[in-house]
């Protein structure tokens, strides 16, 4: 396991982290969670990602109980939460000062910790002034309840505004962003955020590196019964990924390319993400211990895949963002 700085901060996070979306509290119970987290921790993973919106807080409760029972030293791991989707009432969602504080305190209780290492604004809130959110996050950092704060799926403009407000008011600025990033979805990390890496020192902890399983190739012959696309409540995800604009033909070509290299497609896809210099950590989502073992095997291939292979990937997908235009 290698470790990377979280943007310009001094925090070192493992190059792969363990996420809990869809899995903890949905596909994974306490016993399995402890097994998976122990395997991850022993392999050198120190970043464990969560959110108030994951299974209505149950994911955080499960992770918090697992950490508590495993007895890890608090200074040996990094745990995150995200604020936005806390409930249906107006005061239970969004990024108002009230909800940011309520959600943080609730996450601390569920995760059984005194502070959050990372706290993300899970989505932008157009109904709350960015200054109000920045001020709330600053106060949580100043109170020692949060170490670093950032955003998830914000636009470059929104991140720039938050950063500028923080700098103008001498407040703690956002240091990380959590976007979706994989072979199929790459514009934000590679193009939209490009000016922010030098301007703000932005780091990224990317989610869905395997496009919710599409980049494993397992959906080429249909949807397996035990996959996340078959879960009740996730029909929207199935429709989004498997609709009429699906990428199955291109994924089949990527699968053939990976096979020609003697590796499974998901190992190629994970290394594709890891090769990106602005990625601080790649978040893995697993529901079984053997899936984690398999994904960790991808790390043994780092540096062994040449640029000519990545060029072939670009040719198959045809989605490489254009660089800044020079006139």
- Active-site residues, by number, are 54
Quote the CA–CA distance of 119 and 150 in Å, as a whole number: 6
Quote the CA–CA distance of 99 and 121 in Å, as a whole number: 11
Q: Which residues contact 296 (CB under 8 A, 6 or more apart)?
A: 16, 43
How is residue 264 written in tokens? 């499974």
How is residue 310 written in tokens? 């990545």
Quote the CA–CA distance of 241 and 265 in Å, as a whole number: 17
Quote the CA–CA distance of 307 and 72 in Å, as a whole number: 40
| Contact assessment for residue 25 and residue 64, using Cβ atoms and an 8 Å cutoff | no
Q: How many CB atoms are located within 10 Å of the residue 112 CB? A: 16
Q: Which residues of 302-314 are buried (b: 16+ CB within 10 A; e: fewer)?
A: eeebeeebbeebe
CA nearest neighbour of 16 among 78, 61, 68: 78
Region at 128 (left for phi over 0; alpha for psi -120 to 50; beta for the rest): beta
Q: How many CB atoms are located within 10 Å of the residue 298 CB? A: 22
């Amino acid at each position: 396991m290698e470790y990377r700085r979280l943007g310009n901060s001094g925090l070192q996070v493992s190059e792969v982290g363990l996420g809990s979306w869809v899995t903890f509290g949905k596909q994974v119970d306490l016993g399995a969670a402890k097994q998976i987290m122990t395997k991850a921790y022993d392999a050198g993973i120190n970043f464990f990602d969560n959110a108030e919106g994951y299974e209505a807080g149950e994911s955080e409760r499960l992770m918090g109980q697992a950490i508590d029972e495993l007895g890890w030293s608090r200074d040996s791991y990094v745990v995150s939460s995200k604020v936005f989707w806390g409930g249906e009432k107006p005061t239970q969602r969004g990024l108002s000062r009230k909800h940011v504080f309520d959600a943080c305190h609730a996450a601390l209780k569920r995760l059984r910790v005194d502070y959050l290492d990372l706290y993300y604004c899970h989505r932008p809130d157009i109904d709350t002034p960015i200054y109000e959110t920045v001020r709330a996050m600053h106060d949580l950092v100043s109170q020692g309840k949060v170490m670093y704060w950032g955003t998830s799926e914000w636009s470059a403009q929104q991140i720039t505004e938050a950063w500028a407000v923080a700098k103008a008011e001498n407040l703690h600025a956002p240091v990380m962003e959590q976007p979706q990033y994989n072979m199929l979805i790459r514009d934000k990390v590679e193009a939209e955020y490009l000016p922010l890496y030098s301007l703000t020192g932005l780091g990224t902890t990317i989610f869905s590196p395997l496009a919710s399983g599409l980049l494993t190739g397992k959906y080429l012959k249909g949807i397996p019964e035990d996959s996340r696309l078959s879960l009740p409540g996730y029909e929207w995800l199935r429709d989004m990924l498997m609709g009429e604009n699906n990428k199955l033909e291109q994924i089949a070509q990527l699968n053939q390319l990976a096979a020609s290299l003697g590796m499974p497609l998901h190992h190629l896809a994970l290394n594709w993400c890891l090769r990106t210099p602005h990625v601080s950590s790649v978040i893995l989502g697993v529901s079984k211990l053997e899936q984690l073992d398999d994904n960790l095997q991808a790390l043994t291939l780092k540096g062994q895949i040449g640029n000519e292979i990545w060029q072939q990937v670009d040719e198959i997908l045809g989605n490489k963002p254009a660089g800044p235009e020079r006139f």
